[in-house]
Amino acid sequence: MSTPFYVSPQQAMADRAEYARKGIARGRSVVVLTYADGILFVAENTSRALHKVSEIYDKIAFAAVGRYNEFENLRIGGVRYADLRGYSYDRADVTARGLANVYAQTLGTIFSSVGEKPYEVELIVAEVGKATEDDQIYRLTPDGSVVDEKNTVVVGGNADSIGTYLGQRHTPGLSLGEALKVAVESLARDPNGGSPRTLTPEQLEVAVLDRARPQQRKFKRILGGQLSRLLAAGSGDGGGDSEDTELDLPELDEDE
């Protein structure tokens, strides 16, 4: 019985895609959406140290679901790619499109290489522009496909139902508080039609790429008290304007 079974290329690829998809569907989702001043990232994540959303470069952030060691590897590769490119040329020459292409090549090569198992990850690479129209969001699947997304995107478990809900509720020009409210509501929904869960600030990882930030680096985590205030304001009535000024806090006071 030494003759191997014949597996058609179509079947082999379908099997690999199915394997990766199942791995991704097990995890909690990450929601990415545009708001008036930039791009908001919301993930369900109880860990304060193991991030699903991270900074890559000045205007570029990364969000991922799936196997932690695999997307962490890709994140570090992306940071090295961006820093090396910015150092060799100029900071302005580091773009989300370039990074998405490198990720696509990397994921695609791994996906179709016989010796490796496909990565069980789904990534989002986003870049905040000078205006809402210039914001770029790319979604990358384990086979190396790149999808250019507009306004909202969801990856991870129940992505379809969350994405449909989010897409219907999202309107351009939301304030940060409003956008956060919509994102949290869509994450908290029960896909089987039950009553929605309540997500506390401790269960959420929230970050923004804020184009209004005076610093060169536009990425900012929203933590602790600020997150609680934003969530409370959002659940009350619309988004206030006091939250936005909070975002100008220096970047490094992240631990509380």
Partner 1 sequence: MEANTRGTGRLPAAFLTPGHSSFVDFLAEHSPELIPGRRKLPEGLTIEAPHGTTIVAAVFDGGVVIAGDRRATMGNVIAQRDIEKVFPADEYSAVGIAGTAGLAVEMVRLFQLELEHYEKIEGTVLSLEGKANRLTTMIRGNLGMAMQGLAVVPMFAGYDLDLGRGRIFTYDVTGGRSEERGFAATGSGSVFARGSLKKLYRTGLTGDQAATLVIQALYDAADDDSATGGPDLARKIFPIVGLITEDGFRRLSEEEVSAIAVTITDERRNHPDGPQAPLL
The contact set with partner 1 (CB under 8 A) reads 49, 51, 54-56, 73-74, 76-77, 79-81, 83-88, 98, 101-103, 105-106, 109-110, 215, 217, 250-252, 254-255
| Encoded tokens for 125 | 């690479």
DSSP state of 49: S
- Positive or negative, the CA dihedral 60, 35, 146, 93 is negative
CB of 80 to partner 1, least distance (A): 5
Indicate the helix (H) or strand (E) that contains 44: strand 38-44
Q: Which is nearer to partner 1, 110 or 154 (CB)?
A: 110
**CB under 8 A, 24+ apart: contacts of 79-88:** 82/56, 82/57, 83/57, 86/57
The SS3 assignment for 208 reads: strand
124 or 154: whose CB is closer to partner 1?
Answer: 124
**Shortest gap between Cβ of 94 and partner 1 (angstroms)?**
11
Distance CA 58, CA 217 (A): 4
Give me the least distance between CB of 2 and partner 1, in Å please: 32
Between 92 and 252, CB nearer to partner 1: 252
Is residue 46 within 8 Å of residue 29, measured between CB atoms? no
Q: Which is nearer to partner 1, 73 or 228 (CB)?
A: 73
Provide CB contacts within 8 A for 149, sequence distance 6+.
32, 124, 137, 138, 139
Rounded to the nearest 10 degrees, the angle between the axes of helix 9-25 and helix 96-112 is: 120
Q: What is d(CA 168, CA 195) in angstroms, rounded to the nearest whole number? A: 19
Beta carbon nearer to partner 1, 114 or 131:
114
Q: Smallest distance from the beta carbon of 8 to partner 1, in angstroms?
A: 24
* 194 or 250: CB nearest partner 1: 250
Radius of gyration (Cα) for the chain, nearest Å? 19
CB nearer to partner 1: pick between 86 and 224: 86
SS3 20: helix
The nearest distance, CB 160 to partner 1, in angstroms, is 30
Planar angle of CA 182, 97, 115, nearest 5 degrees? 100
CB of 131 to partner 1, least distance (A): 26
Rounded to a whole number of angstroms, the minimum distance from the CB of residue 125 to partner 1 is 13
